[in-house]
């Protein structure tokens, strides 16, 4: 019996800036994404993370916000009410972009940590488009990936404790596209990393 052909996975680094801890009561204000690379039966091939990207700023969906969360991104909710893209249009554009860049591969969202960004991303996709190009589980957490390769408990993982060679040389700016590109480089480095040297 011939081996089953495995569809490649296209990893897309996603970063979200939001004005609170959960979607619904609070709003996703910006969304950045960068293609990090593709994995098939022969292994992982990194992409230039700045080559295929997506960025949108969105109109808020509620009046509620947490000032401390809003301050992280520096985005202006009043400006976004006027200039931001309506969420249903922004998410439809994002879903179309994901399908275009995937082209025969299965898209997988990756983030650091993925839990926050995935919560907003999946909720917004379902709420405003009715579907997710990633399905309900096409999500990979870079923090978990590092913990598994390093042999560490998940709660012991922090970027500052990682080997410097794994980290991107780009700054973490809290601009969603900047951070998606930075995290795409981290992801590619993690995929190539064999783990810490044996002691």
Q: State residue 3's pLDDT score.
A: 55
Beta carbons of 123 and 130 less than 8 angstroms apart? no
List, by residue number, the catalytic residues.
174
For residue 30, give both structure tokens.
């910006």
Q: State residue 2's pLDDT score.
A: 52
Alpha carbon distances (Å) from 32 to 3, 87, 101, 166: 37, 14, 14, 21
Q: What whole-number distance in Å separates Cα of residue 42 and Cα of residue 8?
A: 10
For residue 47, give both structure tokens.
């992409």
Q: What is the pTM of this model?
A: 0.94
Neighbouring-strand partners of residue 141:
111
pLDDT (tens, 9 = 90+) of the chain, 199 residues, equals 555 677 899 999 999 999 999 999 999 999 999 999 999 999 999 999 999 999 999 999 999 999 999 999 899 999 999 999 999 999 999 999 999 999 889 999 999 999 999 999 999 999 999 999 999 999 999 999 999 999 999 999 998 889 989 998 888 888 999 999 999 999 999 999 988 887 6
């Amino acid at each position: 019996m011939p081996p089953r052909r495995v569809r490649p996975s296209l990893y897309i680094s996603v970063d979200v800036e939001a004005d609170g801890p959960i979607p619904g009561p609070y709003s996703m204000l910006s969304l950045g994404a960068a293609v990090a690379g593709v994995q098939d039966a022969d292994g992982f091939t990194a992409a230039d993370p700045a080559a295929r990207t997506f960025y949108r700023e969105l109109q808020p969906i509620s009046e509620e916000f947490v000032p401390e969360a809003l301050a992280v991104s520096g985005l202006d909710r009043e400006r976004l009410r006027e200039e931001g893209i309506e969420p249903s249009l922004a998410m439809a554009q994002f879903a179309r972009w994901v399908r275009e860049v995937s082209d025969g591969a299965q898209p997988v969202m990756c983030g650091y940590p993925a839990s926050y960004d995935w919560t907003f991303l999946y909720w917004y996709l379902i709420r405003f488009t009715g579907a997710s190009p990633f399905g309900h589980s096409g999500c990979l957490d870079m923090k978990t990936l590092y913990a598994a390769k390093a042999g560490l408990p998940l709660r012991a993982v922090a970027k500052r404790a990682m080997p410097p060679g794994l980290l991107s040389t780009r700054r973490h700016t809290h601009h969603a596209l900047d951070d998606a590109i930075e995290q795409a480089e981290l992801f590619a480095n993690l995929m190539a990393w064999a783990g810490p040297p044996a002691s």
